[in-house]
Structure 1
Amino acid sequence: MRFSVAVLSGAALCALAAPAIAQRADPAPVAELVRQVNIPYEEFTLPNGLRVITHTDRKAPIVAVSVWYDVGSKHEPDGRTGFAHLFEHLMFNGSENAPGEFFTPLREIGATDFNGTTSNDRTNYFETVPKAGLERTLFLESDRMGYLLGAVTQGVLDEQRGVVQNEKRQGDNQPYGLTWYSINEGLFPEGHPYRHSVIGSMADLDAASLADVKTFFRSHYGPNNAVLVLAGDIDAAEARPLVEKYFGSIPKGPETIEPRAPVPVLSAPVVETMKDRVATTRIYRVWPVPGLRDPDMAPLDVAASVLGGLSSSRLQNVLVRQERLAVGVNAYNSSLAQAGMFLVSIDVRPGVDPALAAKRLDEVIAELVAKGPTADEVQRVATTAASSRISGLESVGGFGGKAVALASGALYNDDPGQYKKDLAALAAATPEQVRAVTAKWLSRPSYQLTVVPGERDAYVEAQGAPQAVPGATAPATASSEGPAKGTRGAMPPVGEIGSLKFPAVQRATLSNGIELVYAQVSAVPVTQAVLSFDAGIVADPVGKLGTQGLTLSVLDEGTASLDSVEIAETKERFGAGISAGSSADRTYLSLSTPSANLDGSAALLADIVRNPAFAPAEVERLKAQQLARIAAEATEPQAIAQRTLPGLIYGEASPYAKLAAGSGDPEAVAALTRADLVAFQQAWLRPEKAKIFVVSDRPIAEVRGVLDRHFGDWKGEGAPGAKPIAGAGQTVSPRIVLVDRPNSPQSIIVGGELTPLKPRDELLPALTANEVLGGNFLSRINMDLREEKGWSYGAGGGFRRYEGAVPYQVSAPVQADKTGEALASLRRELGEFTSTAGVTPTEFDQTIDGKTNELAGNFETSDAILAAMQQNDLFGRPDDYYATIAQKYRGLTREQLDAAARAAIDPAEFVWVVVGDAKTVRPQLDSIGLPVEVVTATPAPTPAAAVGQ
């Protein structure tokens, strides 16, 4: 289907000029929003106990498949922590009748949103597939349910054990990365099933034998302990014979027994302090509370939002906005099935006494416990929650779509419609009910943790490679042992997959000439809009890097008529999300709102963009927060790498070298004034540089009328800015820059170069070639470092397409003792792919099939369509680009892909950055064949002028 592209004038849509800011409409009642949340379903149960739920959504020829098992970390016996999560990984390594990577046949049929997750209470697997590939997907899911163990060899176990342990290292290596171990152990007593982490301990993972893991699987993964949800272009009548065909013969397993997991009661407050490589002190208050089956859950959810979840939350207003004791706050009610935790945290502003911040934190909490929330606060929580749920209904699967809502209700509450009851309970909550429930639970003793800057205490669990288990045979590679021979025959064929039906794109102009790029999507009553300015990080003034970031931060913290709290409250009453951000080349403000509240939400957006107050007090407050972010970036391994690499790729003269500043240069940010922000706003955030991209269920005439009412008479002031994107620079001499971050259990490897590609050319051959090299899970880079060697949780590479440059970058977090070998392996993969070992016939077919078959799933949601519209516009592609891309893929050849990759990527020109422990890593790099420069990772300074009150 090709686009129908219409260009409509302002006169054609008949909108009159409006005053600068029109009167805001009243928000839709929360009851109206709640009524819009509905997921009709049918269900049936097979004789073997498999519960099947179907939901019909015919908007696209795709089906979400979601399998939830009643097994999580709480079901693990002593000495076997991490087994449920380990099996999540093992079940992606193939089964008896589908050997090899589970992702391979899914990739071929164009699966999207495919993954698996493990929690304390359950394990789930999910994928969204073209309807023509549903039967194959059911074969695959049933095979790993009923025919897995013959494929779990010692080699597979050793490989995935390594991957999981590197996943653990990756999390532990982050600032505050060890806090959850302390919180769990401080909150839950010895023997409680929620005490240990989902990922488990290194010792237990090391000790896991093949017999152990197979016993665990037989105990929990039968059909009678699972829920299967099919959501999308399917109904129960279609689904039943297919489910019976593939799952019906799998025998029942033992019933999973829910362990006893009472809500703990602390006899007295537990107070602990931890040192970590962090930029700011973080203070936690955590209470044990009931789980998601308890009626107290909804009032506790409301209380958490009022405390720290809303933009206008009490902690945000008091500790951040008014008293400036903190640079960030958070609060949420984490409801597990049988118990939960109510967590509040603040990041103390540098220079502030943590004891004072903690005292005020406790006082704000105590006030809510004593007096409860206001009716307006409760209403805003409910509106925000309903708006979020409505937006989530657009996706049939993935991490948070309709299949998730149905499956979680069925597994935890024996009711697929529980999502609706939970939302109704939230909307019906009263201030007195919230006060009583909050007083009941938050008046009890809490676990109190303070994380302060300093060197971590000795931490041995993630040091070095996994140790051999005494008496165990030598680890085998995953490829050295074959799985048991299959008995079910070949996988079912895949039917013909239809072409993408991308929505028609229309263009119009507002009265002042701002172009509107619009597509109508009616899946949910939501409007998403992006006000995109031709600016971006490259527009940041030289010598004042961080100006744009601070300008955007202050923008929605006050207008000529509303202060920061009033703006936050107004957003919440409309259920609107308004955020500001930037890419290398564009600066944008994004709006998502229930369409019933479009007029009021658009009026608020216009007020923020057109009438920012830039109040001096707000400038100073937001400046302190930005300086704290900059300091935090100096402690995060990935951020350190990304701040180091751009200057090496582009050279300091390139505008894209500004990407190295991250959130900004601390000295420059500290010196910024209100006048600097006003100057940036007037030069760049102006109508001549703006386009508005919209995806909505409302017709273009209505959308344009609303936008013209609020933006149509907007005029810029002064001269517009000019971007210096010509001459993007070039890579400096190839070498390795080792950033010393002592005692890191994992190293971050990033590398890259500036390619000769032109951003506005057709880059499809090069981008498609990279799918094989580094662009997805099955790419050579990831398969080598993760699936074959087990040294990384995930690695890959890709082209970054900017308006004036196309660099290529790779990234690989690897265990510290394998850094040198991993870097050598990356160089070898790059070199072979671009010389002697190009795309194979199998890789070519798999890639072309996957890229064409996944189109319908990729563009299922409005935000994906909105992003595609912006990309097409930025790179000068026609509006019907994605309507014709399947034919473009089918027209490619292997020779084109090889030629494109070899013309774009020159491994000999790569510059590499490694962030890790120099004493461990440096000796490994000396044999690489490149000069090695060692630099120190030093915390970004926090200028004293920005710290005081």
Structure 2
Amino acid sequence: MEFHPRPEAGEPRPWAFPAPERTALANGLTVLRCHRPGQQVVAVEVLLDSPLDAEPEGLDGVATIMARAFSEGTDKHTAEEFAAELERCGATLDTMADHPGVRVSLEVPASRLPKALGLLADALRAPAFDDGEIERLVRNRLDEIPHEMANPARRAAKELSRQLFPAESRTSRPRQGTEETVAAIDSAAVRAFYEKHVRPGTATVVVVGDLTGTDLDALLADTLGAWTGGAATPHTMPRTTADDSGRVVIVDRPGAVQTQLLIGRVGPDRHESVWPAQVLGTYCLGGTLTSRLDRVLREEKGYTYGVRAFAQVLRSAAPDPASGVQGAAMLAISGSVDTESTGPALDDLWKVLRSLAAEGLTDEERDVAVQNLVGVAPLKFETAASVAGTLADQVEQQLPDDYQARLYRAYAETGTVEATTAVVRAFPVDRLVTVLVGDAARIEEPVRALGIGEVSVVTGG
């Protein structure tokens, strides 16, 4: 039997994360553009300076409802007509509200970009916020909440935020609101939030794709340039504080056959010089199937299908010693184990963390992490959407436009000792908040016996 010859690898070519061009429209809207020849699906990201901590008291979730309502009709189209117009363009429009603000994401074939940008501009310029549509979105959100509370991973995440941050901080509460706060939202509340926080002068649009033959300046002026709004200053970020004193919280789920683990604390964000080493060390700890946590808990002991360690930026800002304002990243370890293995798995997990401090990472672990993080970058940023999303992250986190390119160089230059020091400081064994979602009657005593922190039990809720 004859097979086709094996494909041969081509010559390696230099690669760097693409640098955007930064301009502004007459209405104050900041524009980042990145021409990517061959990318015939153009990605557009709009960042709105409407963070969750700007939501009025008692209306947590109004930013989410507003974001979802952007595609539910404008002054020109009903909700059904708007959806049909998007479909005719072959476009998709997604929205998301998070701690830094609201994002509106558009993907469309380059040939249909003018029409799709017009629809996007209408959605931002004159959203309908129809009473009936807002009521439907509120009902949908209320239906989602019980499902989220029933999901062990989502329940653990909510509890960890509640434990880490003070009750008065918006970061401590569910991002998309609770049943009580969402039920209080109506079209008047949505419109009031929109009018106060959504305007072009504090917004940014990122456009990435093949822009050959496209007069983007004229196109943006005719679409998003028609969006008007009063002058505004960017929202001021409140100070971030967190309590990471070592403790264990069990969210009781009687009869659960598995225990969901979420272990975390708050640490440096991307503005800190330690970030590259922290990411590298965290990757060695639990970033892939060959990491230390997986090697012990999955391969050697068979406790779990996988455990991951990660650093997730919650809100980012350059540190300001005068005000105490700083960014925050969640440093966490997550996974699930069968109920009977909860105690032994946690015991071995703590042993892995202690071994990092005692023995350090190896050069081989560091080299593998660098190869994985840096080597896959050209594939990771193959699409326009991935580039646009990363550029939007940089804007949202108040980072320079060349940050991502410099970050990959920093990974390659970070040594084993630096990565070890960073990950040990990121996950100190006595300063971790451990949330366990599982059967308290079966796991409480084995966990208490470990001595990894005071243990408390809360209802599954």
Q: Is TM > 0.5 for Structure 1 vs Structure 2?
A: yes
- Note closer, same or farther for the CA distance 1:542–1:789 as it changes in structure 2 (3 Å cut): farther
Change (3 A) 1:889 1:497: farther
2:85 aligned with 1:573, yes or no? Answer: no
Q: Report the Cα offset of residue 518 of structure 1.
A: 0.9
Aligned residues: 448
- Are 2:298 and 1:775 equivalent residues in the alignment? no
Task: Give the CA deviation at 1:684.
Answer: 2.0
Match of residue 180 from structure 2: 667
Secondary structure, in 3 states, of the residue corresponding to 2:369?
A: helix
| 1:718 Cα deviation after fit | 7.9
**Aligned residues of 1:504 and 1:520 also touching (Cα < 8 A):** no
Match of 2:241 in 1: 729
1:515 is matched with 30
The whole-number CA distance in structure 2 between the counterparts of 1:890 and 1:622 is 46
SS, match of residue 150 in structure 2: coil
Residue 322 of structure 2 is matched in structure 1 by: none
1:876 Cα offset (Å): 4.3
Q: Which residue of 1 aligns with 2:276?
A: 764
Q: Secondary structure at the match of 2:37?
A: coil
- CA apart distance, 1:726: 3.0
Q: Which residue does the alignment assign to 1:558?
A: 73
1:744 aligns with 2:256: yes
Q: Which residue does the alignment assign to 1:918?
A: 440
Q: Distance in 2 between matches of 1:687 and 1:572?
A: 26
One-letter code of the match for 1:731? Answer: D
Deviation for aligned residue 1:699? 4.2
1:872 pairs with one of 390, 394, 408? 394
Once residues 825 and 905 of structure 1 are traced to their aligned partners in structure 2, the CA distance between those partners, rounded to angstroms, is 15
Structure 1 unaligned runs (5+)?
A: 1-46, 53-239, 244-493, 939-949
- Root-mean-square deviation over aligned CA pairs: 2.3
Q: Contact 1:651–1:732 (CA<8 Å) still a contact in 2?
A: no
Structural mapping, 1:452-851, within 5 Å? 497-658=12-173, 661-699=174-212, 702-717=215-230, 722-723=235-236, 725-755=237-267, 757-762=268-273, 763-801=275-313, 802-803=315-316, 804-833=327-356, 835-851=357-373
Q: What is the deviation of 1:850?
A: 3.0
CA contact (8 A) 2:121 2:227 kept: no
The 1:759–1:849 alpha-carbon spacing in structure 2 relative to 1, beyond 3 Å, is closer
| Equivalent-residue separation in structure 2 for 1:931 and 1:781 (angstroms) | 24
**SS in structure 1 opposite 2:296?**
helix
Q: Following TM superposition, by how much is the alpha carbon of 1:501 offset from its aligned partner in structure 2, in angstroms?
A: 3.7
TM-superposed deviation, 1:765: 1.2
1:870, 1:700 → 2: CA distance? 24
Which of 424, 431, 436 is matched with 1:909 structurally? 431
CA distance in 2, matches of 1:785, 1:822: 7
* Cα pair 2:45 2:389 within 8 Å, conserved: no
Bigger Rg, which one: 1
| Deviation of the 1:701 alpha carbon | 5.9
TM-score under structure 1 length normalisation: 0.45
Displacement after TM superposition at 1:513 (Å): 2.0
Q: CA deviation at 1:796?
A: 0.9
Contact 2:110 2:211 (8 Å CA) reproduced: yes
Aligned residues of 1:741 and 1:918 also touching (Cα < 8 A): yes
Measured after TM superposition, the shift of residue 594 of structure 1 is: 0.9
Question: Partner of 1:469 in structure 2?
Answer: none
- d(CA) in 2 for partners of 1:566, 1:632: 31
- Tell me, what secondary structure is at the counterpart of 1:712? helix
Corresponding letter in the other structure for 1:786: R
> How do residues 77-88 of structure 1 correspond to structure 2 at under 5 angstroms?
none
Structure 1 residues 339-366: Cα deviation after superposition (integer angstroms, max 9, x where no partner): xxxxxxxxxxxxxxxxxxxxxxxxxxxx
**Shift in Å at residue 700 of structure 1?**
8.8
- C-alpha change, 1:734 and 1:653, in structure 2 (3 Å) is farther
Contact 1:683/1:719, CA 8 A, preserved across alignment: no
1:393-422 CA distance string (max 9 Å, x none): xxxxxxxxxxxxxxxxxxxxxxxxxxxxxx
Which of 1 and 2 has higher RCO (CA within 8 Å, sep 6+)? 2
- Find the counterpart in structure 2 of residue 414 from structure 1: none
Amino acid in structure 1 at the alignment position of 2:287: G
Secondary structure at the aligned position of 2:289 is classed as coil
Kindly provide the amino acid, as one letter, of the partner of residue 899 in structure 1: T
Quickly say closer, same or farther: Cα 1:553–1:874, change in 2 above 3 A: closer
Partner of 2:410: 888
What SS class does the counterpart of residue 593 from structure 1 fall into? strand
Matches of 1:812 and 1:771, distance apart in 2: 15
Residues 49 and 234 in structure 2, CA contact (< 8 A), matched pair in contact too: no
Which amino acid in the other structure matches residue 789 of structure 1?
Answer: K
Query: 1:924/1:601 Cα in 2 relative to 1: closer, same or farther (>3 Å)?
Result: same
- For the 8 Å contact 2:258–2:438, the answer to whether it is kept is yes
Unaligned runs of 5+ in 2: 317-326
Q: CA-to-partner distance for each residue in 1:506-553, whole Å, 9 max, x for gaps?
A: 112112121111111122321110011123333333322111111122
CA distance in 2, matches of 1:840, 1:653: 43
AA at the equivalent of 2:109: P
Deviation of the 1:640 alpha carbon = 0.9
Of 821, 833, 853, the match for 2:375? 853
Q: Residues 849, 552 of structure 1: CA spacing in aligned structure 2 closer, same or farther, 3 A cutoff?
A: closer
